[in-house]
Amino acid sequence: MLGKMQVIVPPEIADIEVPPGFDKTIYDAGHDALTEAVAAAEFYVPTYLGGSRTIEVISQMPKLRYLQLLTAGVDKATPFLRDGVTLINARGVHDTSTAELTLALALASLRNLAGYIRASNQDWTIRGVEPSLWGKNTAIIGAGSVGNAIRRVFEALGAKVQMISRSGGGSSLALGEADPVIATADIVILVVPLTPETRKLADEKFLSKLKTSALFINVARGEVTDTEALLAQLQSGRLRAALDVTDPEPLPEDHPLWRLDNCIISPHVGGATDGFLPNARLLVQDNLRRISRGEEPINVINGEY
């Protein structure tokens, strides 16, 4: 008979320590069979970068009380939630990794690294004076922990950053009042969660506000951008784009975005570094300790995300 609180964790954090009175089972829903211990889960951590099966399996966990994600975004999990299950995200865990990739995408686009790579680093005649990040007006839409990590990195290299959030506050502008900033920005970065309000936020109307030659970066969710509207802007040559996320995802091999010289794409790897794992372990361990003491975990998602 299973008497202790059952904690189910993925292989990538298999070495976490659990408090007394907790039993740990290593489980990857994408590959492993459901066992008695998994079915009795009360605290479940899905595999990072796992498929939909890693979330769908909670329907076979009738005792589940806590769903601890290793992602900051929760949009993939919310359709499968039920009453009595507390949803917890990994806010703060991916800040540095995502900021690194955002910087890499920006520099790869601004400094024409993709063009140099396509030339196999052998065509010295394509050398030219490329734009620098220094002095660039940058609008970051999404003023959470990831957005602010991006801000710090960009400011360290001399960019002039304005944070924009849904309702404003602090040093951020409200999105509804940010058109003048967006219209004059050299770089516009989306790092908002996917919600009904942000779905297709970057539509034809939004993208048409960006000045000609602006660099549009999406490290949020692919569905935050209207792909057809972005494609039209890129095909016209009016904008450049650097995308870590797309809609659909993965992007089909024959999609025209792949063939555009003014668009670079990475396969949704913003947080996928070895740097996130130590923080992920600490977050899960801390939350288990909090639960063992009768306290609420950190990063609980209550109400609107």
- pLDDT at residue 272 tops 90: no
- pLDDT at residue 123 tops 70: no
DSSP 59: G
CA atoms in the 13 A half-sphere facing the CB of 166: 12
Looking at every residue in the chain, the average pLDDT score rounds to 93
User: Quick one: average pLDDT of 243-271?
Assistant: 96
DSSP 229: H
User: Quick one: average pLDDT of 62-72?
Assistant: 96
Residue 1 — very low, low, confident or very high, per pLDDT cuts 50/70/90? Answer: very low
pLDDT value for 117: 82
Best CATH choice for the domain 5-93+274-292 from the list 3.40.50.970, 3.40.50.300, 3.50.50.60, 3.40.50.720:
3.40.50.720
Identical fold between 5-93+274-292 and 95-265: yes
Where does residue 237 fall: left (phi above 0), alpha (psi -120 to 50 degrees), or beta otherwise?
left
pTM comes to 0.90
Residue 235 — very low, low, confident or very high, per pLDDT cuts 50/70/90? Answer: very high
Residue 125 — very low, low, confident or very high, per pLDDT cuts 50/70/90? Answer: confident
Reported as a single tens digit per residue, the pLDDT across 160-173 is 999 999 999 889 99
Can you state the percent helix, strand and coil of the chain, rounding each to 5? 35, 15, 50
pLDDT value for 261: 94
Top-level class of domain 95-265? alpha beta
Q: What is 1-38 written as a DSSP string?
A: ---SEEEEE-GGGTT----TTEEEEE--TTTSPP-HHH
If we measure between CA atoms, which residue out of 221, 222, 94 comes closest to residue 146? 94
Lowest-confidence pick of 114-118, 140-144, 181-185: 114-118
- pLDDT at residue 20 tops 70: yes
- pLDDT at residue 304 tops 70: no
Reported as a single tens digit per residue, the pLDDT across 208-227 is 999 999 999 999 999 999 99
Q: What is 91-132 written as a DSSP string?
A: TTTSHHHHHHHHHHHHHHHHTTHHHHHHTTT--GGG---PPP
Percent of the chain topping pLDDT 70: 97
Percent of the chain topping pLDDT 90: 83
Interacting residues of 104 by C-beta distance below 8 A, sequence separation 6+: none
Which sequence spans correspond to the domains of the chain? 5-93+274-292, 95-265
User: Quick one: average pLDDT of 44-48?
Assistant: 95
